Copies of this chain bind each other. A is one copy, B any other.
Amino acid sequence: MTETQGGHSPSRRALIGWGGAGLALGAAAAGGAVAMTRAGQDADPAAAEAGTAVGFHGAHQAGIATPVQDRLHFAAFDVKTDDRAAFVRLLKDWTAAARRMTAGGTVGAGAYGGLAEAPPDDTGEALGLRPSRLTLTVGFGPSLFDRFGLADRRPASLVDLPKFPGDNLDRARTGGDLCVQACADDPQVAVHAIRNLARIGFGKVAVRWSQLGFGKTSSTTPDAQTPRNLFGFKDGTRNIAGTETDRLSRFVWVGDGDGPAWMTGGSYLVARRIRMNIETWDRTSLQEQEDVFGRDKGEGAPAGKPKEHDEPFLKAMKPTAHVRLAHPDANDGVTILRRGYSFTDGTDGLGRLDAGLFFLAYQRDPRTGFIPLQRRLAASDALNEYIQHVGSAVFAIPPGVRDADDWWGRTLLTEEA
């Protein structure tokens, strides 16, 4: 092995450390992050869109208004240290790693660029893969504010979610001091990112629960086809597009004066694991299915209308139809940005697929966003017969990392804010 080991020349090592001989893809690079292909991979123009990097720096974190990627790995963490300085160091280390991984690079000296006697800095399974539009989005749960003297910095908007009728929450899939949402077009890239952050956090944080999502159920791209959920329906047709700066400001981004200054430019994330009773649904008539959603199944058009994007006529739907209850007109105009993924986690003990929707919604304030909406749905939605909420969490999503000196959570953890 010595020969092979010796074959790692310093220049190659350094190159690998920075993510390989990168081709700058200027359009996608922003604020100092250099978009590049992963080590050892030539740029392929045909795959450029899926392969590019998403800029890491900005006023808002990436992964919210960013066009929805195909795959998800989401992890909630518990903090295991009481040492505030160690926690700040972790957030800085995470930021540095996230900056490199989202640009298509490896963590530290990489998977085989370090000392033979030490564990590699990067676990290596994403070597040779493209950046795949990886975004990493960090959040802070309510319980984090019980630590590190942060109690008086907890935003009023970061409420504990109430118990909704029908909730059947599994504690092992609920809550968390921190979260990281990894979205990418290649699942191996998303899994690699979460795993390496967990590894960097060893001894300071531990994964509380995690969730893989195999298929996006929402689009934040105007005019794109709305993907179908596991009930075979298009849902979230009128989602907020990532280009709609007005609606983003109104419904997604925390504004000046909304609460503590450290959250300005941030958002709030509600995550719900929603088990779908696939087998029951599949034995339900087409008419009942369409009545439940208030849409036709083929086109995805609202009841009585010919086209998916037609303005719904709510009174054409049953009073318990999902679209009717969730529509902004029925909710004082409030809307949320949905970014959920379908999941299938094998089979339960009864031969049924353990499948459903991992619902992710971003909003300016859960008290006027998810909470009243879900109260309404939990009380009346015809869909409730076919679904069950089995996991739940809420997180404050701090603003974006501004530049190469900034880090996740700086506005929360330094006194200036």
Contact = CB atoms under 8 A, between A and B. Distances in A.
A207 B296 contact: no
B188 A285 contact: no
Interface in A199-222: 199, 202, 206-212, 214-215
Contact of A16 (B115, B119, B120, B298): B298
A92 interface: no
Interface string A278-314: 1100111111011100001111010111100000000
B116 A287 contact: yes
A23 interface: no
A100 interface: no
Given A207-B352, A285-B116, A351-B207, A344 B212 contact: yes
Contacts of A282: 119, 123, 195, 199
Interface stretch (A3-11, A26-34, A148-156): A3-11
Given A117-B285, A342-B188, A124 B233 contact: yes
A53 interface: no
A152 to B, nearest CB: 30
Contacts of A123: 230-232, 278, 282
Contact of A208 (B73, B119, B122, B351): B351
A350 to B, nearest CB: 8
A198 interface: yes
Given A111-B232, A344-B73, A278 B212 contact: no
Contacts of A117: 285-287
